[in-house]
Amino acid sequence: MLSLIDYDYILPRELIAQEPAKPRDHARLLCVNRQSGETRHLRFDALSDELRKGDVLVVNDSKVFPARLIGTKESGGRVEIFLHHHLSEGRWECLVGGRIRPGLKIKLSNKFEASLICDQGDGTWLVDFNANGAEFYKIIERIGHMPLPPYITPGKSKSADRANYQTVYADDAHRGSVAAPTAGLHFTERLLKKIRERGVKVVHVTLHVGLGTFAGVKSEDIRKHEMHSELAMISKSSAREIMKAKSEGRRVIAVGTTACRVLESYGQAVAKNELAMGEAYEAWTSIFIYPGYKFQVIDGLITNFHLPKSSLIMLVSAFAGYEKTMATYQLAIAEKYRFYSYGDAVIFI
């Protein structure tokens, strides 16, 4: 299935979740057996019962930062800057909204401003800021807004959005995502404790999620789609835990498409002898997974219900099978599951 139209579906607007389940682990979980096609309707906190002793559950611990900034021009006009990719000290690749031109200075707070350098021709601008490093992030944490997807209405306060749109295991040392690894939003400390007590290893990897992960595919022939590069990292200890499980025939289950992309990028590097098995990994990955892809690492996938015509639904189709994936989506719609970032989850195993 290589045509874009194959990945379209109609979703009633009322099924787009506007806030996470409360508590988070009370979201619904659709359990799908990849071999038999059997489906069961569970609550997410029942996940611990679906996992086996010896399984390795892999989570993406990248932390989302408040990347959306609102500023004003000297003329008083409003400009919105969306931090996309850090390039060097004080310089970022950004999306910029409003009437703008090269050389324009934008005031963001009392002593903090941005200077537009040039339009890069791909929808992004080079932007210089008059702060960098720890000082830059301190300011951003104070004035920035969480980069919620356009289909979610912001909450009553910035603090509520920051709490909702962040996993409980997000690592301060791994700050760098401009979109949340949303499958992980369902986990609570209570559920993770139950999972570990069952004898499941919870292993952290990192992929700093960029806008390209969630961008719609435009090419009618999906093979022509190009993914944006994102920074992926696996520590030596995590790599050894994952590869030990593979060598012993134990299951490796990815929490989300981002964790999946880290693991499969790593698996490809090992297969090509670019990396020794069990060694640490750090690389920019633009891996695009669609039907026909041969999986190297993962044996199970926990994920949310994704937008039509997105690279994410193509990845799921590659893992679970196209027919099974689209049938699962139709079942979820019929059963009124909640969709997208704050919605319910599905496990293919």
For residue 214, the model assigns a pLDDT of: 59
**pLDDT for position 85:** 85
CA 103 to chain centre: 33
Q: Are 343 and 305 in contact (CB under 8 A)?
A: yes
Which tokens hold the place of 45? Answer: 């906190």
Q: pLDDT tens, 181-207?
A: 999 999 999 999 999 999 999 999 999
Tokens representing 238 are 């995590």
Cα torsion 77, 81, 87, 89 to 10°: value is 60
What does the mean pLDDT of the chain come to? Answer: 94
Residue 233 pLDDT > 80: yes
**Per-residue pLDDT at 216:** 76
Overall average pLDDT of the 241-253 stretch:
97
For the sheet with 281-285, list strands across it: 39-43, 28-32, 345-348, 300-304, 252-255, 56-60, 201-207, 230-234, 281-285
CA distance 203 to 146: 26
Give residue-wise pLDDT tens across range 254-288.
999 999 999 999 999 999 999 998 999 999 999 99
Report which of residues 212 and 326 the model is more confident about: 326
* Tokens found for residue 300: 């199970």
Does residue 302 surpass a pLDDT of 70? yes
**What is the reported pLDDT for 84?**
87
User: Terminus-to-terminus CA distance in the chain, angstroms?
Assistant: 22
Tens of pLDDT along 61-91? Answer: 999 999 999 999 988 899 999 998 889 999 9
At residue 211, the pLDDT reads 74
Q: What is the pLDDT of residues 147-190, one digit of tens each?
A: 898 899 887 777 889 999 999 999 999 999 999 999 999 999 99
**Within 10 Å of residue 200's Cβ, how many Cβ atoms?**
22
Q: What pLDDT score does 99 carry? A: 87
Q: Specify the pLDDT at position 229.
A: 87
345, pLDDT greater than 90: yes
What are the residues facing 175 on neighbouring strands? 63
Q: What is the largest CA-CA distance in the chain?
A: 65
Task: Please check the confidence at residue 215 and state whether its pLDDT lies above 80.
Answer: no
- Note the pLDDT tens digit of each residue in 23-61: 999 999 999 999 999 999 999 999 999 999 999 999 999
| All structural domains of the chain | 4-64+165-348 (3.40.1780.10), 68-144 (2.40.10.240)
Per mean pLDDT, which range of 67-76, 138-147, 209-218 is the poorest? 209-218
